[in-house]
Amino acid sequence: MSFIYLIRHGETDAVGRTLVSWLPGVPINARGREQAGALPQRLADIEFAAIYSSPLERAMQTAAPLARATGLEIRQCPEVGEFRFGGWTGASIPALASDPLWQRFNRFRSRTRAPEGELMVEVQARMVTALEAMAERHPHANIAVFSHADAIRAAATFYLGMPIDLVERIEIEPASITLLRLEPSFVQVLKLNA
């Protein structure tokens, strides 16, 4: 079995305000640096075999303290990267509230595509494929994976057996940990948003 620690990046100035998607130059803020700095202590009893991260700056910055503490290299993995919001990238979340497509997107993620962006099921497929490949690559090991709220929600709904349209029921806070136990014929969600 492999244990996958899915860790959301630390807080940024955009969290809850702007859909930054894959925009470059969105670092973690002072609170995010505190959260990232606390991760090695929170995870001190865990011996990790590998650290993977979304290539986006905020995820890499959050992974850095754990990488330093463990002496492991951060392996960039675009498949665990952020939801691609397409034409909504850079938009203010409050400003989208009256957009009928945004409303439908948040009710029916299974079949509502972000303009020129992804479907949530596409995010889910790339996340699950990447996580299961990591588990095969590192059997009987602990793996840290630094990612993003929607990507982690997508994986969590898959492993919980939840309809993806209910994804908004799951909260994934900055620097939170979601723990999965993956075996070839068995899966458990051991922690969610811890």
- What's the CATH number where 32 sits? 3.40.50.1240
Please choose, from the candidates 36, 84, 79, 41, the residue with its C-alpha nearest in 3D space to the C-alpha of residue 60: 36
Alpha helices, DSSP H, located in the chain: 30-42, 57-70, 93-96, 100-107, 120-137, 149-160
3-class secondary-structure state, position 96 = helix
**Per-residue confidence (pLDDT) for residue 120, from 0 to 100:** 97
Q: Which domain range does residue 42 map to?
A: 2-191
Look up residue 171 and give its amino acid: E
Q: What is the C-alpha separation between 33 and 37, in angstroms, rounded?
A: 6
Buried b (16+ CB within 10 A) or exposed e, 9-26: bbbbebbeebbbbbeeeb
**Per-residue confidence (pLDDT) for residue 146, from 0 to 100:** 99
Q: Contact, 194 vs 177, CB < 8 A?
A: yes
183 token code pair: 């075996």
For the stretch 151-185, pLDDT in tens is 999 999 999 999 999 999 999 999 999 999 999 88
Q: What is the C-alpha separation between 68 and 71, in angstroms, rounded?
A: 5
CA atoms within 13 A of residue 26's CA, in its CB half-sphere: 23
31 token code pair: 């609170």
94 token code pair: 């409050």
**Per-residue confidence (pLDDT) for residue 184, from 0 to 100:** 86
How many domains are there within the chain?
1
For the chain, list residues with pLDDT below 50.
none
Residue written as tokens 């009928």? 100
Residue 42 DSSP code: H
Q: Contact, 149 vs 10, CB < 8 A?
A: no
**Per-residue confidence (pLDDT) for residue 102, from 0 to 100:** 96
